[in-house]
Amino acid sequence: MISVTDLVKIYPNNVKALEGISFNVNPGEICGYIGSNGAGKSTTIKILCGMLQATSGSAILKGFNVSETPNKVKRLLGYVPESGDLFLSLSPYDFLEFVCKMYEMEKSVYQKRIYSFMEMFELKNEVMTPMFSFSKGMRQKVLIISSLIHNPEIIFWDEPMGGIDYTTSLRIRDLMKELASMGKTFFYSTHQIESIGKICSRIIMIDSGKIAYDNYIDREARIEEIINKYTAKNNQDKISSIYNS
């Protein structure tokens, strides 16, 4: 479903965000994509979504090359950015209707989905309320709905749970598992390690633009063991280099 080969991204002034990363993600997987700030997570997702051009390498989504056919790829995707902006003067209905029209959905279909999702996320009384009065968590719920409402095959979420209350986060976890069982693919970037252990079937760890770890997981304790082991070794190397320089 997602195939990445030798992906490189170099920003101006020779800033290397990605240094030849490769991985494959299969249909129905919930893949956690983790790493420290500036590791290259958001850069990867933006390239896979066709928002950013790679310096070299390839990204193939369901047989489509992202750099060659970005518009075809975008029709397959749902996306929640790390810092998502909404048209706050609009109501959730107006915003979601705009999204649905971009995907050329039938009005009878998207109307039902808007109200169903808003009820699921406990926003049914706010369907027509301008979003400038919404809390961060409420706005984030609308962004999550916008990434799912057109029934995408691949969902990219970059820190989607910011401001989300605990009850809703549990509901979202259940929703992700249900959609994955239907063959949807999630590429889920987050700093919330607890959620990775409870949701993801696999993790990919990126560090300084390189893949540091890529494997399937089977229990929550294993996640912390992997991260702690890697972080401890990385810190030891950095401290040694500081004091021995």
pLDDT above 70 for 231: no
Q: Which residue has the higher pLDDT, 159 or 237?
A: 159
Q: Are residues 142 and 160 in the same domain?
A: no
Quote the pTM value: 0.88
Confidence class of residue 219 from pLDDT cuts 50, 70 and 90? low
Residue 44: is its pLDDT beyond 80? yes
Same domain, 69 and 172: yes
Whether pLDDT at 170 is above 60: yes
Q: For residue 191, what pLDDT is reported?
A: 78
Domain coverage including residue 62 = 2-76+153-243
Same domain, yes or no, for 97 and 201?
Answer: no
For the segment 61-72, the average pLDDT, to the nearest whole number, is 93
pLDDT for 216 beyond 80: yes
Residues 140-163 have pLDDT tens digits of 999 999 999 999 999 999 989 888
- Note whether 145 and 160 are same-domain residues: no
pLDDT tens per residue across span 86-109: 889 999 999 999 999 999 999 999
- The torsion defined by the Cα of 141, 146, 90 and 97, in degrees rounded to 10, comes to -140
| pLDDT greater than 70 at residue 234 | no
**For the chain, what is the domain count?**
2
Q: Are residues 50 and 113 in the same domain?
A: no
More confident residue, 233 or 136: 136
pLDDT score, position 211: 95
Question: What DSSP string runs through the chain?
Answer: -EEEEEEEEEEGGGEEEEEEEEEEE-TT-EEEEE--TTSSHHHHHHHHTTSS--SEEEEEETTEETTT-HHHHHTTEEEE-TT----TTS-HHHHHHHHHHHTT--HHHHHHHHHHHHHHTT-GGGTTS-GGG--HHHHHHHHHHHHHTT--SEEEEESTTTT--HHHHHHHHHHHHHHHHTT-EEEEE-S-HHHHHHH-SEEEEEETTEEEEEEE---HHHHHHHHHHHHHHHHHHHHHHHHT-
Same domain, 181 and 239: yes
